[in-house]
Structures are given as structure tokens and as C-alpha cells.
């Protein structure tokens, strides 16, 4: 959930000068907008099952059902695209893999560029979500991006 939290935190705090995402899960993108009331129970059940399968239940005070309800309730403001305006002036690193999260991450990068952000760096590494066989390439990419950031 680090990438999701990086977007939320950076958008909320203008003192954060840059942000990086590594196979970020856009929780808000999981909920179609607008969501018809009759579709909510099925979506809640689907999200809950997905969160349970992803081992989200061990989060303190969290259940898959509770997280599904919160996701549905907060989807519009949790969506990466809703943070574009707040992040359009900050350097961004967006790294993707073959884990299924690439489309929402590249859409966010495109939205940032469309909003005028000329400092979006994107990299795709052909690997799993844990970057099992690409850890060195991932490390080099992150360190290179950090080294290229302007000093404050």
C-alpha cells in the first residue's frame, strides 16, 4: 500500500517535494464512478474477497469487509486522478511491473503530463509485484531518479 499512501501523502502535504510509486495500487480506481446503489453490494463482496486474498485483514482494526466499505465510500477522493492538480508541479517516479497495476499507473502519469508536469519519469520492469528478479534494476532506477532531483 506504499504507492497508494505516497500519492495521498504527497497530495496532502505541499512540503513533499517529489514522490515515487512502485507498482502502486490506486484504491479509488477500483470503484466505478458514479456507482449505482444496486451495484454496491456485489462490488463490496468482490472487493472484500480480493482484500482477504491479498492478506489485508492483518491491518490493525481492519477487516476485508470494512476496508471494502471504506474504499467504496472514499473512492472519489482516493483516486490517483483526483490528486493530479495537487501533484502536477512535483517530480514523479512511476515504476510498473507485470502485476496488473500498470494501466492505472500509466494513466496517472499521462494525467500528470497533461496537467503540465514535465518531470514524470516512468519505467516498466518485466517482473512480478515484488520485483523478485529486478531488484537491482529497481534500486538503480530509484537511486538515479533521487540523485537527479534538484537539491533544496
Quick check: 96 and 23 in contact, CB under 8 A?
yes
Judge if 90 and 119 occupy the same domain.
Answer: yes
| Chain-centroid distance, C-alpha 137 | 20
The domain spanning residue 140 has which CATH number?
3.40.50.1820
Quick check: 97 and 126 in contact, CB under 8 A?
yes
Residues paired with residue 95 on neighbouring β-strands, in sequence order: 22, 123
Tens of pLDDT along the chain (152 residues)?
789 999 999 999 999 999 999 999 999 998 998 999 999 999 999 999 988 887 766 667 888 899 899 999 999 999 999 999 999 999 999 999 999 999 999 999 999 999 999 999 999 999 999 999 999 999 999 999 999 998 86
Judge if 96 and 140 occupy the same domain.
Answer: yes
Query: What was the pLDDT predicted at 30?
Result: 83
Of the candidates 125, 122, 142, 141, the residue with the CA atom closest to the CA atom of residue 133? 125
> pTM surpassing 0.85?
yes
Pairing of strands 92-96, 120-124: parallel
Judge if 129 and 94 occupy the same domain.
Answer: yes
Cβ neighbours of residue 61 under 8 Å, at least 6 residues apart? none
Judge if 124 and 147 occupy the same domain.
Answer: yes
The C-alpha cell of 73 is what?
465510500
Judge if 64 and 100 occupy the same domain.
Answer: no
The CA distance from 26 to 33, in Å, is 14
Judge if 101 and 48 occupy the same domain.
Answer: no
Counting the structural domains of the chain, the total is: 2
Judge if 39 and 73 occupy the same domain.
Answer: yes
| Enclosing domain of residue 59 | 30-78
Judge if 62 and 130 occupy the same domain.
Answer: no
Judge if 21 and 85 occupy the same domain.
Answer: yes
Query: What was the pLDDT predicted at 1?
Result: 78
Query: What was the pLDDT predicted at 57?
Result: 60
Query: What was the pLDDT predicted at 58?
Result: 62
Amino acid at each position: 500500500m506504499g504507492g497508494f499512501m505516497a500519492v495521498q501523502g504527497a497530495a496532502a502535504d505541499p512540503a513533499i517535494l517529489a514522490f515515487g510509486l512502485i507498482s502502486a495500487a490506486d484504491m479509488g480506481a477500483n470503484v466505478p464512478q458514479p456507482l449505482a446503489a444496486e451495484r454496491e453490494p456485489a462490488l463490496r463482496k468482490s472487493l472484500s474477497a480480493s482484500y482477504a486474498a491479498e492478506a489485508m485483514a492483518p491491518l490493525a482494526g481492519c477487516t476485508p469487509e470494512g476496508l471494502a466499505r471504506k474504499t467504496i465510500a472514499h473512492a472519489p477522493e482516493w483516486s490517483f486522478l483526483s490528486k493530479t492538480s495537487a501533484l502536477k508541479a512535483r517530480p514523479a517516479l512511476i515504476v510498473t511491473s507485470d502485476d496488473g497495476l500498470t494501466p492505472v499507473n500509466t494513466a496517472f502519469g499521462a494525467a500528470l503530463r497533461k496537467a503540465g508536469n514535465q518531470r514524470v519519469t516512468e519505467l516498466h520492469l518485466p517482473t512480478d509485484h515484488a520485483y523478485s528478479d529486478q531488484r537491482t534494476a529497481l534500486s538503480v532506477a530509484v537511486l538515479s531518479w533521487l540523485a537527479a532531483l534538484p537539491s533544496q
